Structure 1
Amino acid sequence: MYIPGMEEIVHLALKEDIGNGDVTTLSTVPSENISSGKFIAKENLIVCGLPVIQYVYETIDSRIKINFLVNDGDSVSKGDIIATIEGPSQGILTGERTALNLLQRLSGVATKTREAVNQIEGTNAVIVDTRKTTPGMRALEKYAVRTGGGTNHRIGLYDGILIKDNHIQAAGGITQAINNARAYAHHLLKIEVEVENFIQLEEALNAKADIIMLDNMSVSHMAEAVKIVRGRALTEASGNMGEKNLKEVAETGVDLISIGALTHSSRAMDISLKFNAYSK
């Protein structure tokens, strides 16, 4: 499976780790040695990043073969084998840390996303991510969100207009900012504006924003805001949503719940690569 941006991230990660060569492996393991091993889940998790570790090893040594026993998006339990690997020992060892770093990180994002999606099951709300990603890792982290069952917000500054408080101040107000954006945008570019109270909400509606972000509102205020909007724009709940009762938020009737913590606070899951007890 091809993931846009994967090659650049993997090559940068390998260059960062290997440099001029893996001196430990080169100095201790003969080049003719062949080894096999297993990627093992050390805790319950949602798997994400299998195409990435495949590409890591294809880049290092095409003779290395990986057999995946699960798919991205699958739920595995502690002790489950995610994949087996066999090939030149040097190549497997050299790629081990890069492969695990990426697999663990992406599985962490996917797992956290799945937890959030499960919390709002039965509602019409959708879990979305933000741009609060690890610099250079956005393409893979947003892939992990999708793998966990979430949806991507805008990818970058170039594919969606999101007018926040500082834009409003710099433009001279919500109406002026939206009017300016409308004059600039083509017909496929949606305009979203952040509001913090009902006065700003009414102004955003009158200026015909496509999406209204309800920033740091209480659950009761969000519910009232949804009633005021009455479907005239999409509504998005935002502001420390990773700490909120997501079911309560979803039940206010908001269309979207954006959670920066999906990517900025997900921990790496515990996955290990263990060699079998033989080498040939």
Structure 2
Amino acid sequence: MQSDAKKTGLLSIVSTGPGNTQQLTPAALKAIAKAEYIIGNNVYIDLIRPLITGKEVVKSPMGEEVNRAQMALDLAASHRVAMVSGGDAGVYGMASIVLEVAERTQSEVLVEVIPGVTAATAAASRLGSPLSGDYVTLSLSDLLTPWEVIEERLDLASRMGVPVAIYNPRSRGRPHNLDTAIAVIGRHRGDETPVGVVRNAYRPGEEVHVMTLAELRADTSPIDMHSIVIIGGIESRIWKVGDDVRGIITPRGYHRKYVY
């Protein structure tokens, strides 16, 4: 007979980072190891496949987030469940919808959110240090947010002069959103503004590109939903050693206080 302790479940919303298992935190690895059920989008399940051998795996396609959240809560009433979410689950991830469903259904299931490496910071690490101080993250996906709101936020973020990390920059269903975003950003940023594009950060097929805003405007075709675009701030600069482009630096302000 199962003890009451074993009947007490736990839902861990596990951030899996950029996809390479080396970027998972120890807490994320522990939650996955202890889980009886692993639930997640097909892509993120496949990326952690070596860690979930012998576990009950429930795959769920894009667009089924509400059902996925409810299923996870139902299972977690009496089992340990790991809901996997790419990047950081609290940044365009599964944490919000799971907690919203739990709140609306008055679920008593214990839920924990385990943080992880976000797509923006993963991409930034491949570019040098473009997000060293204040910065803004924005998604160009208008599936859940009206485009008018996104455009207003882009305009305000560009006025701030800080770097902007753009998620979901270009998809087949909305190929022109990035072009429109660049036009909005260009109202307040010059053509020579540094731009970094990272595709498949820490995954097979990784690509890293450093360019100017004018060069990005001229050709956005290589960018897709697996890409993160980082628009430099007014103090950002392209880091070069001779003619070798090393990345992007956004100074924090040490040059204003120290001599080095």
The TM-score, its normalising length taken from structure 2, stands at: 0.30
Higher share of residues assigned strand: 2
Higher relative contact order (CA 8 A, sep 6+): 1
Larger Rg: 1
Which one has a larger percent helix, Structure 1 or Structure 2?
1
